[in-house]
Amino acid sequence: MSERSQETDSFADVCNQLRNHAYKLTPQRQTILKIFLEQGSGHLSAEEIYQLVKPHYPDIGLATVYRTLDILADLGILQKNDFGDGRSRYEFSRRDEHHHHHLICLRCGSVSEFDDDLLESLETMIAKRNKFKVVDHVLKFYGYCSRCQEELNRDA
């Protein structure tokens, strides 16, 4: 229940952001947005989003998906990630939410998330030490998720 109203709020919210930036509120853009609000957790590629949108809006072009993702990422509504599989992956990023980082499994490719408190102090220290003004950071850990660790032990 609280989930639904939260989703609705987010949707209206993003629509306003688009309007404020003089972007038109086309059905294609709305559909893509809804996909993210419904999925919530996934790290979707452009092609995956394209496939998910098609049932709702069959005439959409892949180029439109790319153009929309660009806009949403520029506005900070989506986070564009590179997990090293050759395509960009997008996830919904609630405003004001401090962005998280990723644990990428080298065996099954699953991606999980973690928040960083410690990284804050590391960032401050490094910025000071190098006279470098940090505006964003990316932290990824590659390794094996717990499930894959078990399966590897079993096979060995």
Partner DNA sequence: CTTATTGCAAATGATTTGCATGGCG
Partner DNA sequence: CGCCATGCAAATCATTTGCAATAAG
Q: Which residues bind a second copy (CB under 8 A)?
A: 82, 84, 103, 105-106, 112, 114, 116, 118-119, 121-123, 125-127, 129-146, 149
Report the nearest approach of a second copy to the CB of residue 143 (Å). 4
Q: Closest CB to a second copy among 24 and 128?
A: 128
Answer with the entry of DNA, a second copy, none that 118 interacts with (C-beta below 5 to 8 A by kind): a second copy
Number of residues interacting with DNA: please give it, by CB under 7 A.
26
Burial of 83 (0-12, 13-18, 19+ CB in 10 A): middle
Dihedral in degrees, nearest 10, Cα atoms 46, 6, 57, 76: -40
Burial of 56 (0-12, 13-18, 19+ CB in 10 A): middle
Task: Report if residue 27 touches DNA, rule: CB under 7 A.
Answer: yes
Greatest CA separation for the chain: 58
Stretch of 42-50, 106-114, 129-137, 139-147 contacting DNA, by CB under 7 A: 42-50
